[in-house]
Structure 1
Amino acid sequence: MMYKKIGFFLIAFSIIFVNFNYKVYGEKIKTAKVLMVYDRENVFGYQDNIVNCIEELLYNFSSKVDKLDIEEYNKGYINKYDYIFVLGIEGKLNKSDFIQDLFNFKGKICWIGKGINYFLNDKKYEVSYFREKTDITELYYTNKRDKKYSYSEMKKFFIGDKWNFTTLNIKQSEKVEVFSYMSDGTNYYPFALKNKNLWYISSIDDNSLLFYVFCDLLNDIFDTKIEDKGNVFIRIEDVHPFRDTNKLKAIADYLYKENIPFIIALIPAYVNKETGYINNMSQNKEFINAIKYMENKGGTVILHGYIHQNRKGTVSGEGFEFWDGYNDAPLNVNIEKLVYDKVEKGLTECVKNKIYPLGFEAPHYAIDEKGYKELKKYFSTYVGQYQSSNKKFTTTAFPYVLRNTKSFNKLIPENLGYIDIDDPLTMNRIKENFEQVSMVRGYTAGLFFHPYLDIKYLKRAVNYLKQNEVRFLDLKQEHNWVMLGNIKIYSDNGNITVEGISNKNKDSVKKINYISKINIMVIIIVSIFCITFLIIFIKLKRIDKNKFLR
């Protein structure tokens, strides 16, 4: 019996060893069922679809997310869910069947914004409705969870915009945990709290400090353990064949010297706005060599559209490509076909010149829901902001990477803004944005820089980020894939592998992942050793048994 156990252990060891040395790229599927109930999708007068933004966020924590207008609610509907998020933009949530079901609900409830006065009429919770306020000017928050913090121990932020906030009274403070406070300059109120199975957040939008506090609190609501250390990326924007190659190389040299990897947002073709003639980068060998030079200095290419414009008379790099910027509306075309055609042309032009993008960024971040779904077929990675509305152009900057959502396989968010030399406060805005984003646990932050600007402006931003001891994101180090037709591009651990293209291109540029090959060799050797040892061990055991019988 003892020998059998030893033999089983050796076999199990070899199997486990093999499994540990193969990388698993699929994300863990989270099975909690989440429902969001809302009274309207956006604040009156604004185009931002807050429901869509929250839905994208929730998919990051669960693979099963549904949303429902309160007018469509039927009794007992919430019973099949584990989490209920209630979004009150106008507060019209007084539907008796819903309120009663919510009161009896055993899972977690997160109520955001107005209408909670209908739910807190009973004595089940140690909090009660107080009133609405529009003169809140300060927010206090900390992401530390080692003890209960008072507002004076939290970081203070100023709220510039006038917003509606719901205030609550706390009946028994020892039974209520307050995660954030707000103030009108005189009085202090809980902004975010937890009592029993109820989480409450006073107000939310989709693009500011309030939104980032909510994003961070989701880690607590879903009991997610996440590292505090974040990532920052720098993206060189609107790099097209008519850019000054000397400036591109100078940027690459500087960032390489600073040991900072960076992203290159490549527009592979440039349209003459007068004639409409398309200048592909294949016609400019100097530009192609400059891109490869930047790659060798730590740059990673993503596809930034194909021509970055869609209207005659518009300059490439300034116009929209997947949106009607003139009428601020979706393009009146088959957007799926348009996206496919532009991606196919862009990738073909890149691959033909031995340049391999690892992600995509829509020009000006403008694209509708159908466009996102089409892009999701071809790219594992999208870099930028999220357009939440299918009616008007508006974007949301998330504070961390989103994975396996409705619109993205992986979204790497840009949220710090860009360097605008016409704005004397441009660095102040970047600093303010970083201060807010970096309070979110596991944040990813990003900014972009146009290569026609003086490099001194980029150096100022880099110096600020380095003073904050940030960790710079290297896109090549992550698992990415691009697939369209016969083109297949993969990256991992700094290596890029290309499949499905002609040997003429493939043999000269395909980077072999030597680490993976070594791992496979080690796995084979160890497996052979374990099997050989096991066979010898069994034979020796039989010899000993025969001796004993004699």
Structure 2
Amino acid sequence: MNYNVIRLPCAAALLVSSAYFPSRAEAKQQNRILIIYSSVDGKESANVKKLDLLAGHFSSRVTVRKDTDVKASDMADKDRVIYYGQTKRKLNQKLVALINDRKEPLISLGYNAEQFSRFAHLSLKRKENVYQIHSNQEKTGLSLENGLNVLDVSGLKGQALVTYKSSDGQTHPFIWKTKTSDYYIGLTDLLNDNLITAKQLREAFGETPGSTLLYLRLEDISPMSDEKLLLQAGSFLSKRNIPFVMSVIPVYLNPETGDKVYLSDKPKMVKVLKKLQSMGGSVIVHGYTHAYRYSETGEGFEFWDAKADQPITEENAEDTPAVLEKEQNFPNETAYQSYLRPYRDNENTYTKTKLKLAIEDLTASGLYPLSFEAPHYTMSEQGYKIASDYFSSIFGQVQLSDTTWKTSGTAPFLTTPSMLHGMTLYPETIGFVDTSDQNPLGDIEDHISRMIDFEGGVAGGFYHPYLGMKYLPELVDQMERIPNGEWLDLKKTKQTVKTDKVKITTNGDGTIHVENKLNAFTEFVKHHQQSPLEKALWILSAVVLLFVVMFVMYTFYLRATLKKRIFKERRNLG
């Protein structure tokens, strides 16, 4: 499988980049979605962001507002409204009136739906934790390993879509479709709903499941990876006619010595990566060092301070990070935001520098990244906003909280949520081969079964090349048992990756367009001066070089002087 690279003059590159955008923008413009939420503290909780992830599949224009902030102008141009009551509360009558005046169907989740006229007769009977549910579209029940908290309601007229049975054998509905095509979903916790909300939103938006998108990432490829094992894995996938993704880290950081090994220092690895890039592999940026402070590449976090469990606070990773104070220590939110501002400025500089260096280092080596994957899927929302200036898409899962990295999530399908500021998410849904488990492929098999049941989503996972070929063929076989599956070829989608000196675009035909303004020597010097020791070595090298040049010039001067004197003496001797 071959690909073409076209290096464009500046004007032509700008023409192409303005004409093509990622495919996410094409089919979603007809839906403009407003999500209104009620939460305990009025902030976007992880559950709200999970709903944003799900809604982003149906529209690239999703707006999220807390209930007390909604204005008539927010609703004026929206095609669909989704209300999510995560907590019980008396809603503002202005908000209720705005929703009641709408003619379009309403989707309501959780509490407070009975305050809207179309759900006026709804009453909450109880909240229960259930382990098996039944959909009217499926013949068999669905077992839930971790259970599900559902709201048992009554009083709605229409069709019960999903039910459960209580201990007394009675059937209780918790998801309804009314006669006016309004939907009620009796769930308050969306982080563990096992694809249920996604299915109901798909029905509410009238989407018919299509083919399932499959992708496989070769993960954590750094300058210190084994290029032979990488070539073996990539060649196997190429022979199976499977396009694949390569998550590349341009710099390896040794945590004990602080030494860095650059991809440019490993010509054999670069040669293998370029070969695989021409055999169906697509490069994506997996951080710059995949490390923060003194952690090892591939093990550490890069865009989140995992030790303090907080966003990055220092512009220079070698500086001791400040531990952020909690919001409750401030008199109001304005004071807290003012306190955070300088730290966010530092995070902004740090993140921009890392992303820029990663893209430009790879490009300088003839490797053309088409997307981004945050190390360990961790990043603040400001981090995602910054990343959206460089990338049109992102792979994996996303962090759903700005207070801890331990809450993450994804969607079962392609999505462009508001929290990613325009980036399309290619979700990781089936996991990876975990050799610490007795059955390394066990979890993947379970997740694949769920994606078979879901239909038309994304079955994405990753594989570490250092495992060799022991598990890769079986993993591919498992993925290909998904009916109507199609492998993702990132080069045949529309992508944009850019810095102020590099622009890489694809228009969907498999061709990579590259605009490259990098000066090789200047960029090498600039990109390879990261630590004070390295800066000192560069200065020392320059001083030594200067003395060598002066010594050579002085030697030539002495030789010229000596020749001149000898010539003069010979003339005098006659």
- TM-score when scaled to structure 2? 0.73
**Counterpart of 2:67 in structure 1: which amino acid?**
I
Report the count of equivalent residues: 464
- The counterpart of 1:494, out of the listed 497, 501, 510, is 510
Match in the other structure for 2:173:
190
**Counterpart of 2:129 in structure 1: which amino acid?**
D
Structure with larger RCO (C-alpha < 8 A, sep 6+):
2
Give the whole-Å Cα distance in 1 for the aligned partners of 2:416 and 2:478.
Answer: 29
8 Å contact from structure 1 (residues 48, 395) kept in 2: no
- The counterpart of 2:84, out of the listed 79, 84, 87, is 87
Match in the other structure for 1:472:
487
Match in the other structure for 1:371:
383
Q: 1:200-239 maps to which residues of 2 (within 5 A)?
A: 200-210=184-194, 212-223=195-206, 225-239=207-221
Q: Quick check: 1:106 aligned with 2:106?
A: no
SS in 1 for 2:130: coil
**Counterpart of 1:326 in structure 2: which amino acid?**
K
1:325/1:112 CA distance change after superposition, 3 Å:
same
1:249/1:89 CA distance change after superposition, 3 Å:
same
Match in the other structure for 2:312:
331
Alpha-carbon offset, residue 206 of structure 1: 4.1
**Counterpart of 1:271 in structure 2: which amino acid?**
L
**Counterpart of 2:411 in structure 1: which amino acid?**
F
- TM-score when scaled to structure 1? 0.76
Alpha-carbon offset, residue 440 of structure 1: 3.8
Q: 1:22-37 maps to which residues of 2 (within 5 A)?
A: 27=26, 30=29, 32-37=31-36
Give the whole-Å Cα distance in 1 for the aligned partners of 2:519 and 2:68.
Answer: 59
Match in the other structure for 1:485:
500
Q: 1:68-87 maps to which residues of 2 (within 5 A)?
A: 68-72=65-69, 81-87=78-84
1:83/1:404 CA distance change after superposition, 3 Å:
closer
Q: Quick check: 1:115 aligned with 2:139?
A: no
Match in the other structure for 2:565:
none
8 Å contact from structure 2 (residues 130, 164) kept in 1: yes
Alpha-carbon offset, residue 82 of structure 1: 4.3
Match in the other structure for 1:138:
132
Give the whole-Å Cα distance in 2 for the aligned partners of 1:76 and 1:253.
Answer: 55
8 Å contact from structure 1 (residues 215, 440) kept in 2: no
Give the whole-Å Cα distance in 2 for the aligned partners of 1:504 and 1:276.
Answer: 25
Deviates more, 1:400-409 or 1:124-133: 124-133
- The counterpart of 2:425, out of the listed 387, 398, 411, is 411
**Counterpart of 1:451 in structure 2: which amino acid?**
P
Alpha-carbon offset, residue 187 of structure 1: 3.2
SS in 2 for 1:231: strand
Alpha-carbon offset, residue 204 of structure 1: 4.9
8 Å contact from structure 2 (residues 113, 119) kept in 1: no
8 Å contact from structure 1 (residues 381, 411) kept in 2: yes
1:231/1:50 CA distance change after superposition, 3 Å:
same
Larger Rg: 2
SS in 1 for 2:173: strand
- The counterpart of 1:355, out of the listed 354, 357, 367, is 367
1:41/1:396 CA distance change after superposition, 3 Å:
farther
SS in 1 for 2:196: helix
Match in the other structure for 2:49:
52
1:427/1:188 CA distance change after superposition, 3 Å:
farther
Match in the other structure for 2:183:
199
1:482/1:67 CA distance change after superposition, 3 Å:
closer
Give the whole-Å Cα distance in 2 for the aligned partners of 1:94 and 1:325.
Answer: 38
Give the whole-Å Cα distance in 1 for the aligned partners of 2:475 and 2:34.
Answer: 41
**Counterpart of 1:161 in structure 2: which amino acid?**
N
Alpha-carbon offset, residue 241 of structure 1: 1.0
**Counterpart of 2:365 in structure 1: which amino acid?**
N
8 Å contact from structure 1 (residues 209, 436) kept in 2: no
Alpha-carbon offset, residue 257 of structure 1: 2.4
Alpha-carbon offset, residue 68 of structure 1: 3.2
Q: Quick check: 1:317 aligned with 2:298?
A: yes
Deviates more, 1:319-328 or 1:256-265: 256-265
SS in 2 for 1:135: strand
Q: Quick check: 1:391 aligned with 2:403?
A: yes
- The counterpart of 2:154, out of the listed 148, 169, 173, is 169
Q: Deviations over 1:483-519 (max 9, x none)?
A: 11121112232222212346999xxxxxxxxxxxxxx
Alpha-carbon offset, residue 309 of structure 1: 0.4
8 Å contact from structure 2 (residues 131, 148) kept in 1: no
**Counterpart of 2:487 in structure 1: which amino acid?**
F
Give the whole-Å Cα distance in 2 for the aligned partners of 1:345 and 1:298.
Answer: 25
Alpha-carbon offset, residue 401 of structure 1: 1.0
Q: Deviations over 1:6-57 (max 9, x none)?
A: xxxxxxxxxxxxxxxx97765256355533222217999xx96111232344
Alpha-carbon offset, residue 60 of structure 1: 4.0
Match in the other structure for 1:39:
38
- The counterpart of 1:301, out of the listed 268, 283, 299, is 283
Unmatched 5+ residue regions in structure 1?
1-21, 142-148, 506-550
Q: Deviations over 1:118-156 (max 9, x none)?
A: 55xx7x669642512323111234xxxxxxx46xx4443
Match in the other structure for 2:564:
none
Structure 1 vs Structure 2 CA RMSD:
3.1
Alpha-carbon offset, residue 304 of structure 1: 0.3
SS in 2 for 1:323: coil
8 Å contact from structure 2 (residues 285, 373) kept in 1: yes
Give the whole-Å Cα distance in 2 for the aligned partners of 1:27 and 1:291.
Answer: 32
8 Å contact from structure 1 (residues 132, 164) kept in 2: no
Q: Deviations over 1:166-200 (max 9, x none)?
A: 1123665xxx2333333346333323221014211
Alpha-carbon offset, residue 276 of structure 1: 0.8
**Counterpart of 2:198 in structure 1: which amino acid?**
C
8 Å contact from structure 1 (residues 42, 50) kept in 2: no
Q: Deviations over 1:43-98 (max 9, x none)?
A: 99xx9611123234434434554333334567998677543322122222455554
Deviates more, 1:68-77 or 1:433-442: 68-77
Give the whole-Å Cα distance in 1 for the aligned partners of 2:395 and 2:260.
Answer: 25
SS in 2 for 1:140: strand
Alpha-carbon offset, residue 481 of structure 1: 1.6
Give the whole-Å Cα distance in 2 for the aligned partners of 1:410 and 1:285.
Answer: 33
1:104/1:347 CA distance change after superposition, 3 Å:
closer
Q: Deviations over 1:225-248 (max 9, x none)?
A: 455211110111100111111111
Q: 1:493-512 maps to which residues of 2 (within 5 A)?
A: 493-501=509-517
8 Å contact from structure 1 (residues 41, 50) kept in 2: no
1:402/1:76 CA distance change after superposition, 3 Å:
closer
1:227/1:59 CA distance change after superposition, 3 Å:
closer
Match in the other structure for 2:552:
none
Give the whole-Å Cα distance in 2 for the aligned partners of 1:243 and 1:71.
Answer: 52
Give the whole-Å Cα distance in 1 for the aligned partners of 2:151 and 2:283.
Answer: 46
